[in-house]
Chains A and B, each alone.
Chain A
Amino acid sequence: MLLRSAWRRAASAVTAARGARPAVPTRELRLRVADHAPSGTAAAPEVEAVLRPLYMDVQATTPLDPRVLDAMLPYLVNYYGNPHSRTHAYGWESEAAVERARQQVASLIGADPREIIFTSGATESNNIAVKELEAAIQPDTSLVSVMTVNNEIGVKQPIAEIGRICSSKKVYFHTDAAQAVGKIPLDVNDMKIDLMSISGHKIYGPKGVGAIYIRRRPRVRVEALQSGGGQERGLRSGTVPTPLVVGMGAACEVAQQEMEYDHERISKLAERLTQKIMKSLPDVVMNGDPEQHYPGCINLSFAYVEGESLLMALKDVALSSGSACTSASLEPSYVLRAIGTDEDLAHSSIRFGIGRFTTEEEVDFTVEKCIHHVKRLREMSPLWEMVQDGIDLKSIKWTQH
């Protein structure tokens, strides 16, 4: 991606020229090379002052909640036993922690702990769920798989209705709830969900851990992707990573406690962001259904402005113009294409992520910078000039040279 290669060049320039140091703080990320030891003492004289951008990309990943780190640390320091060791206290205390975490995850989604299998993340969980198709007992068994909340435009799917339909037609229902768990109320029984993928790092938990919910009544049969020592009921072999799993459980428990408070605050901030932007800029489109929408994920298209150039201009704010999993390419988002967004508007989209730790000041700063740069980029745009002159762009016949 253009921004990353520009950052790499700037960072290598910083490490190369260790002599002259500007007094004014620069706005790049500091490049920590080789030495990962923290600088606990006063900063060395040659350290350059840099300021970090605001983080507004929570759909890509979330920071650890301090309560989660606090729960994890003992298992990274003293309680390091393998939870599958049956013969000593190290194993027993580790196993107890895993089972407590399992209960915390289950409680968040209204499931039984026996229905939760820990995995390396929602992607692995998705693979296990979809592989179930191949392990189907009846020849005509099929699977419906739907995202609960979309990660690009924040749209909420009618999960309860889909669940009801699937249940009546005896079709398995899987949902990837990575962006929804802990943010909107989910109950696997009310919504008739058979399989659910959960991601740790989307809910202020650690990266590298997730879970899959697999219904027991009526029994949903899945095939293990990963075979080995038979851990996790034979469905996912491999030593269960106690510190990560404890973090995931803690994240779920915190989410259950904070869901209402977070939702209310994030809704207010989202309203503030969209209102301020739309009041100050014409030709801004919000992508996604305005009613069935998770407030923390706002995807806006700014007409006549190229999304990548706006992202580069907004270098003081960490944002994205689409899904992180496909951000290396410059192709517009398949989601925007699917909802029928015009090609040019699809290239102009930016995703703003508001999370538990986002402040009003950060929203205001982001809005201010966004308005400033959209205006500036539009001033430079010949398309914008033509629109201002009253020309209908759709009527133009573009010819090749």
Chain B
Amino acid sequence: MAASSRAQVLDLYRAMLRESKHFSAYNYRMYAIRRIRDAFRENKNVKDPVEIQALVNKAKRDLGIIRRQVHIGQLYSTDKLVIENQEKPRP
């Protein structure tokens, strides 16, 4: 089992952000983007490879959750919130 490379972690980060932008619910979308950024930033100095692998595995599971929940949210989407047409996607 190869250790997670920096490139792998970055790919995961980008994939999670990309997917999260598709949440149709404003509150879920903003939370996911913000939380992913903050979580990766918080853990950026972790050195222990075992810990890194555990974090990567959790992130992969979370990516799966995001994908499924984005899809379900789109199936059941409703109207936008009053502030959605006013502000940009960047939280």
Does B38 contact A66, Cβ atoms closer than 8 Å? no
Given contacts A38-B76, A66-B65, contact A359 B27 (CB under 8 A): yes
A362 at the binding interface (Cβ < 8 Å): yes
The answer to whether A172 has its CB under 8 Å from any CB of chain B is no
The answer to whether A27 and B65 touch (CB under 8 A), given A357-B27, A357-B30, A359-B30, is no
Give the distance to chain B from A349, nearest Cβ to Cβ, in Å.
23
B7 interface hit (Cβ, 8 Å)? no
- Per DSSP, chain B at the interface is helix
A51 touches B82 (CB 8 A): yes
> Taking the nearest CB of chain A, how far is it from the CB of B57, in angstroms?
15
Does A69 have its Cβ within 8 Å of any Cβ on chain B? yes
Contact of B81 among A54, A67, A69, A70 (CB under 8 A): A54
- A-contact 0/1 string along B19-37, CB 8 Å cutoff: 0000100111011100100
Q: Tell me, in angstroms, the Cα distance from A49 to B75 when the chains sit together.
A: 18
A54 to B83, alpha carbons, bound, how many Å? Answer: 8
* Known contacts A66-B28, A357-B30; is-contact A51 B65 (Cβ 8 Å): no
Is B44 part of the binding interface, using a Cβ–Cβ cutoff of 8 Å? no
A208 within 8 A of partner (CB): no
CB-based nearest A residue for B66: A66
The contact string, 1 if C-beta is below 8 Å from chain B, for chain A 316-329, is: 10000000000000
Chain A residues 116-144 with CB under 8 Å of chain B are none
Option from A30, A49, A63, A67 in Cβ contact (under 8 Å) with B65: A67
Contacts of A70 on B, CB cut-off 8 Å? 65, 68-69
Q: Which of A352-381 contact B (CB under 8 A)?
A: 356-362, 365
- Determine whether the beta carbon of B82 is less than 8 Å from that of A55: no
Q: How big is the A interface, by class?
A: 20 to 34
Q: A365 and B83: CB pair below 8 A?
A: yes
A218 to B27, CA, bound (A): 44
Tell whether A398 is near chain B: CB-to-CB under 8 Å: no
Bound Cα distance from A40 to B74, whole angstroms: 8
| Chain B interface residues (CB < 8 Å from chain A) | 23, 26-28, 30-32, 35, 38, 62, 65-66, 68-69, 72-85, 87, 91
Known contacts A54-B82, A357-B28, A361-B91; 19 further A-B pairs (Cβ under 8 A)? A27-B82, A30-B79, A38-B76, A38-B77, A40-B75, A50-B79, A51-B80, A51-B81, A51-B84, A51-B85, A54-B81, A66-B28, A69-B69, A70-B65, A70-B69, A261-B38, A358-B27, A359-B30, A362-B83
